[in-house]
Amino acid sequence: MIFNRKPNLCGVGSSRYSLVICHSQKIINPNMKRLILSCLVLAGIASQQVVRADEGMWLPLLLKRLNYEDMKKKGCKLTADEIYNINTSSLKDAIVMLSGGSCTAEAISSNGLLLTNHHCGYEAIQTNSTVEHDYLTNGFYAKSRSEELPSGGITASFLVRIEDVTQRVLAELNPSMNETERSAKVRQMAKTIEKEVKEASGYDASVKGFFDGNEYYLFVYETFTDVRLVGAPPESVGKFGGDTDNWMWPRHTGDFSLLRVYAGADNKPAEFSPANQPYQPKRFLPISLDGVKEDDFTMVMGYPGRTDRYLTSYGVQMALDLSNPAVVKIRDKKLKLMKEDMDASTEIRIKYASTYAQTANYWKYFIGQSQQLKNNGVVEKKKELESKFQTWAGQDAQRQAKYGFALRDLENAYTDMRKVTLMRTYLNEAILQGAGVPFFAYQMSQLKEVIGDTSNPAGVAEAIAEVRAEGANFYKDYNIGTDKKLLEAMLIIYAEGIAKEEQPSIYDSIRTKFNGNYKAYVEDLYARSVFATSDKFNSFLDNPSVSVLVNDPASQLSGIFLQTFMTNYRPQITEIQSRIEKGNRAFVAGLREMMPEKKFYPNANSTMRLTYGQVKDYDPRDGVEYDEFTTLKGVIEKEDSSNPEFFVPAGLKALYKSKDYGIYGEKGELHTCFISTNDITGGNSGSPVINGKGQLVGCAFDGNWEAMSGDIFFEDKVQRTISADIRYILFLIDKLGGAGNIVDEMQLMRKGKIVKR
């Protein structure tokens, strides 16, 4: 039984009819921060623009055919087989998908040591933190294997192989199918193929659609569930700059954390056990101490979550007009309420740290995305491409029949989708991701079928034990006062944003029974609900009752909202979505036919991709030039003791003053971060930045403000990936953290030779 997942009402099904795509939901460890520069080439979108080699997020399976010659020209010294090969070890064996695609990590030792971002390990750090052991504030490094901590459920998946199954899937489809029938057949085929892999090898498998359903690929993984937290810097280092610097360059953030994968005696996945041993990966990345300089080749491999480079002007305009402003407004209110309580109590700060970080990350993202979509004229660029497409399709009768309907149908579908977008956005952001108790109660309501089964007492006992554990996880990061404030505010903001006739019936009760007093309603709900406190919840589990679940006011509240949606809106949205999917599929297929000379790559979808480019500075606007790297000097210059976002630990200041950089410095300086032209997005957080020799030079963690529209349109002049310099990371572990034992596991390289710290 699974009780901790929220339904995705941001995008019912798989279409991309809105830019609001549930970034904050736990994919990964939803904690992490998703980098937002995208990866999909909408080749030719900017009239006659030459496709650059650093634009694109490519399937490693196709590198040899599509990209390898370009990569060599940029400076790659590896062969294509050294990057991706299923018969011998290759770079792909060192790249790790965390928790199903929330973040990326890389193996950096022969003993299963992983490097990822601080924000990717944030929830694990927070989960292990208490007032007495505040690892968020003070950092944490295990000085021995026995000191490593549970990761809070993070999983690590290694890619075994990719296989093109397009023909097998398409062979089961025919033009007479409607979209519902087509989608059902695709799902059936995917399940059949995935089951075959599982039965034959025991590996996990996933069939994913590409180019909006025109191609299909199988991804096979070996997934490990025993993953432990090894280390992380203090929050003042790992989140240096906070929300102010988020999505900005120049940057000085030591955004990293360390994990370790454990396996059974046979080096295969095993459930957590003290007897497990560190996993021995097929490949791990050696680490370069040589640093990077302007024009150096850089390659990023990882698991980008989602891009929407083929989104039409209709979808972009809908996001600008409706969904993005609504998300920003709702999240702004949630952040202010949480911050009030977090500032007043260390205990509450620790409890809500992860939730606050997740909420803030994409609050600022949607502000930036809207601003840059306008600044970069993305709607106009989309319309230009669409005009060319219509002209091309109309020049030939066969093309007109095959593709001529696509944009017309998409425009009509988005016109209809605009009518329900606000309701869907408010439901997801304000209700499902608002206060904790109502949705937790809804999840627990699934228990009624279990506890009502008197014929299976053993099954009931097992389910109760599992739910009790879920409750412990929930209440650990819960404060009743904060939750009440959030629920009251979110109910009000929903009522203000959604027309009265579209509001669930609970609002009639608030207006009549409580005279429109939301605070009184909320106080009554928490006073009567068995989910209001852990004590009441556990007392209920001691003597569970179906009637109590059914009549609980918190469960009823979320149930009413969801039932209203499922009854009144889901059928309508599903129908509109099917039209969008059909239109997108034809539009994308037509684009590829219209521009046969272009190298197209698919939207990101949490599958392994490779992007390559170079270390490059940029000029974002008149009179402003940004260098390609930053140094520790910038950290000291940004210090502001009155602002926790820019607090600098005393130990770091002392190391700067003495210039005690060890083997990690360069000409008397310590480089902190650098930028490159790699094309990444959310899910790439923690991805390795690899030089032309296959050595690790950095850890990617962000994108830049000027290209916040990058998920929709690649801004080739200004789009940059921001990465922590690997030498700064090692310095922080060794010199600031005193954890040289961790560095000693790694293979350090300088000028082609192995060196010791």
Residues with catalytic roles? 119, 255, 685
* Neighbour count for residue 214 (Cβ, 10 Å): 16
Cα dihedral 163→168→172→177 (10° resolution) = 50
Residue 216 contacts residue 208 (beta carbons within 8 Å): yes
Residue 736 contacts residue 237 (beta carbons within 8 Å): yes
Number of H helices, E strands in the chain: 29, 23
Cα dihedral 712→326→437→124 (10° resolution) = 30
Find the length of the chain: 757
Of 263, 202, 256, the residue nearest 233 (C-alpha): 256
R_g (Cα) of the chain, nearest Å: 26
Provide the phi-psi class of 5: left if phi over 0, else alpha when psi is between -120 and 50, else beta: beta
Tokens (6 digits) for 353? 């740290």
CA distance 361 to 248: 12
Return the SS3 of 354: helix
Of 437, 429, 438, 439, the residue nearest 363 (C-alpha): 429
CA distance 308 to 16: 7
Tokens (6 digits) for 489? 């505010």
CA distance 548 to 542: 13
Q: Strands 721-725, 696-703: parallel, antiparallel or unpaired by DSSP?
A: antiparallel
Residue 154 contacts residue 99 (beta carbons within 8 Å): yes
Residue 530 contacts residue 540 (beta carbons within 8 Å): yes
Tokens (6 digits) for 336? 């202010």
Tell me the H-state helices in 67-155.
68-74, 80-83, 122-128, 135-138
Residue 723 contacts residue 673 (beta carbons within 8 Å): yes
CA distance 328 to 65: 43
């770079």: which residue's tokens?
91
Provide the phi-psi class of 551: left if phi over 0, else alpha when psi is between -120 and 50, else beta: alpha
Q: Strands 609-614, 297-302: parallel, antiparallel or unpaired by DSSP?
A: antiparallel
Tokens (6 digits) for 589? 């297929």
